Amino acid sequence: MIPERPFRMMLNRRHGTPGVVVLPEGGFRRARAEITSWPGYAPTPLVPLPEVALAGRVAEVQWKDEAERFGLGSFKALGGAYAVARLLVGELARRGVANAVTTEELAQGAHRDAARAITVTCATDGNHGRSVARGAQRFGARCVIFVHETVSQGRRDAIAKYGAEIRVVPGTYDDAVREAARTAEAENWFVVSDTSYEGYTEIPRDVMQGYRLMAEEAAEQLQGRAPTHAFIQAGVGGVAAAVAIQLRASFGPDVKVVVVEPEKAACLLASAEAGEAVSVPGELDTLMAGLACGEPSLLAWQELERSAYAFISVPDESAVDVMRLLARRSPKLVAGESATAGLAALLLVAAEPMSRAMLGLDAQSRVLLFGTEGATDADLYAELVDKPD
């Protein structure tokens, strides 16, 4: 179905060991109540892919399609905007402006001057920054977004559309993360990041609680029929961890969560090999821009080091193979280059007997995939999909 290409896979030797509670259930209930109350909220579709199931010799494959989430084209619409809302409500209370303001009141313009005096910021490859910018615009804060130099102009423009100031940082995503943190400290701004580290976990925790809603929707759409496997792509690991937590909450511990990364930015695979969180050096020169991350998120690693069943890295070419595969099916599915690593890994593994056996893929397997973004850079999408084979 796609060409065979080399990939790397490691079973997680710590799978199933006890660990800390990364995302408390009370926090998720708050996130779900807030996000589902927003105008335009609707569960995204769960699309069966019978042709993929046939090619992969499994019972069924389901694709959670995030291409239209809140009009932002990515699951990240669930996380950054929610964290901005939580931050503003808390900060306005701390400053004595409003002890019990609601997000709906902020959206309608309440305490506009006080909210505008609060600046939120983050580093982004595109999608998270768009969500933070949308949240800042909706709830009244000022927003400055840092991007590294290889983020496309199309993605920069999509963020700026929501009123954010864009600042470009030389180097990689991780360099932009450090510059956002440095500037925020100097200017008394608030970092709203999906990357957590020592001393900075509460806001990323809110972001990840928002991501869980995507997995809960999928679980409800499956109507109690638990998947045997879930393949989920990862950058710093926030969404993969959120998916692992929610699938465990919905179905128990038996779903095998497989974390998939670009071969040129596989920091979670490297961490699993090392037995501790480690960073991946270099330019992180992967086409999968949303996954071009060299350092795991602390919270994500605390979850995935024990709940991920396996870690896989795939080549950029396979991500493009899957983009074209989905674009040419009927009905068409639009998936950006950072959305397809999970499906690429499934097809590559399914075609290789030893890897297939290691993951326990067989004719009874039911696989859940997450199409985490649509064409978030329309020009790049068209270039990749329409490029001759």
Helices 25-35/202-221 angle, 10° precision = 70
**How many Cβ atoms from other residues are within 10 Å of residue 299's Cβ?**
27
Residue for token pair 């708050």: 30
Residue for token pair 């660990």: 19
Question: Does the annotation mark 125 as catalytic?
Answer: yes
DSSP states along 66-121: -TTGGGTTBGGGGTHHHHHHHHHHHHHHHTTS-SS--HHHHHTTTTHHHHHT-EEE
Q: Of 64, 76, 256, 264, which is the active-site residue?
A: 76
Sign of CA pseudo-dihedral 103, 108, 112, 116: positive
CA-CA distance, 294 to 283, in Å (whole number)?
A: 9
Cβ distance 323 to 335 under 8 Å? yes
CA-CA distance, 196 to 219, in Å (whole number)?
A: 26
Q: Of 64, 65, 125, 174, which is the active-site residue?
A: 125
Cβ distance 60 to 53 under 8 Å? yes
Q: How many Å separate Cα 97 from the centre of its chain?
A: 34
Question: Does the annotation mark 64 as catalytic?
Answer: no
The token pair at 171 is 């180097």
Catalytic residue annotation: 76, 125
